[in-house]
Amino acid sequence: MPLQDIPLTASANGILDEQTMKKHCVLSKVPLQIEIATVLEIGSGPSPPQWAEDSSAKQKTDIYALSGKWGSDGDRLISGLTSVLRVSGEWNSTVLPSATYWGQYEEITKFNTDLNIAERLWTAWYAWMQNDVLATGIMSFMMHELVYFGRCLPWIFIDTLGLFKSYKIQNNKIPALKEQWDCAKFVLLSHFTVELPQIWFFHPMAQFCGLSTSIPFPSLWTMAYQIAIFFVMEDTWHYFTHRAFHWGPLYKAIHKIHHQYSAPFGLAAEYASPIEVMILGFGAVGCPILWCVFTGDLHILTMYIWIVLRLFQAIDAHSGYDFPWSLHHFLPFWAGADHHDLHHEKFIGNYASSFRWWDYLLDTEYTPDALKRRREGKAEAKKAQ
């Protein structure tokens, strides 16, 4: 929206001051180049200010365009303003954002009481960072690392201290602490060299596809049904790509690294070659992006919650433990640790990530029940001959 389309109110001394800006407009962080202009009239009424180009002022200045609409209570959020306009046509380089994150949070809270705490924290982060690509990149990478290693930590303690041995699927293969440390170093190297560059370019790609980073957040129902769809989409992608990786040449060139551990443990969930990380990772990131392209309806918060749940699923599936309270005992179509542990032990079957239906439908399920069904099927086929 052009700068002149926005109603502004000047203070008594002719300066569009910080309070005025925060009270009456929202900042759209879109950089543009304009020539310094002279304000002919700034009124307190609803009509927009009038502008005229000052031919003597040829200096071009990077500014942020003010845009937005009046809020229902006249209060709208402002973030990232880096210049204050004076009636004389000069630009004051006073920096309005607070120097600290919590200072930014307090300013946003003061003028946006309709936002909940999570929305204020979210908005303060982007306002404080002043760079959306950097803000999203840091937040995405830190979220991934904290969730991944945070979720792995309980399994490390369980294996190291020898807890819950009766629930260990392959109870004769307990990973040593050094083995887990070596795995952690490999995974960290992969995160910084393979995943970090992809995360860095995620924001511009996502915004190009229409993904939202703004407030308010989507409803719980919207996030729930979209995440359910992502689980189904990713599971389908994972099944067919994972099954392809078990074809001889691809297994040797790509997937063999992941099968170094025949008795998996939590940290081994992302222990894989760079090619496998990128291809299988497309299911987790690419499927939501495709959804966004076709529907135009996806918020990055939904994406984050989906990634967190997918990480939990992957780590728990590699944990090597099957408890009476494990999810697959309540949802029979859920894969779980027993499903994937057999895949690592036998190197065949059970290719899906979250659900069992693709393995069941395409007869690649490797479980005692599935083996029994095959034996009975072969016996009946022989009798029919």
pLDDT, residue 6, reads 34
8 Å CB contact between 34 and 60: yes
Whole-number mean pLDDT of the chain? 77
- Given the DSSP bridges, would you call strands 26-35 and 60-67 parallel, antiparallel or unpaired? antiparallel
pLDDT digits (tens, 9 = 90+) for 236-294: 999 999 999 999 999 999 999 999 999 999 999 999 999 999 999 999 999 999 999 99
For residue 74, what are the CA distances in angstroms to 1, 23, 24, 68, 383?
A: 19, 7, 6, 12, 82
End-to-end CA distance of the chain: 77
Q: Give residue 383's pLDDT.
A: 75
| Residues 6+ positions from 154 with CB-CB distance below 8 Å | none
Q: In whole angstroms, what is the distance from residue 235 CA to residue 351 CA? A: 9
pLDDT at 2 over 80: no
Spell out a b/e string for 292-325, using b for 16 or more CB atoms within 10 Å of the CB, else e: beeeeebbbbbbbbbbbebbebbbbbbbbbbeee
What is the percentage of the chain residues whose pLDDT exceeds 70?
74
DSSP 191: I
Measured CA to CA in angstroms, residue 376 lies from 189, 369, 373 at distances of 47, 11, 5
For residue 300, pLDDT over 90 is answered with yes
The tens digit of pLDDT for each residue in 61-97 reads 322 233 333 233 333 333 333 232 322 232 222 234 5
pLDDT given for residue 69 in this prediction: 31
pTM reported for the whole predicted model:
0.74
Query: Which residues, 6+ apart, have CB-to-CB distance to 216 below 8 Å?
Result: 115, 119
List the single range of 33-37, 141-145, 216-220, 351-355 with lowest mean pLDDT.
33-37
Domain ranges across the chain: 131-384
Do residues 264 and 341 lie in contact, with contact meaning Cβ atoms separated by under 8 Å? yes
Each residue of 92-134: pLDDT tens digit?
A: 222 345 678 999 999 899 888 889 999 999 999 999 998 888 9
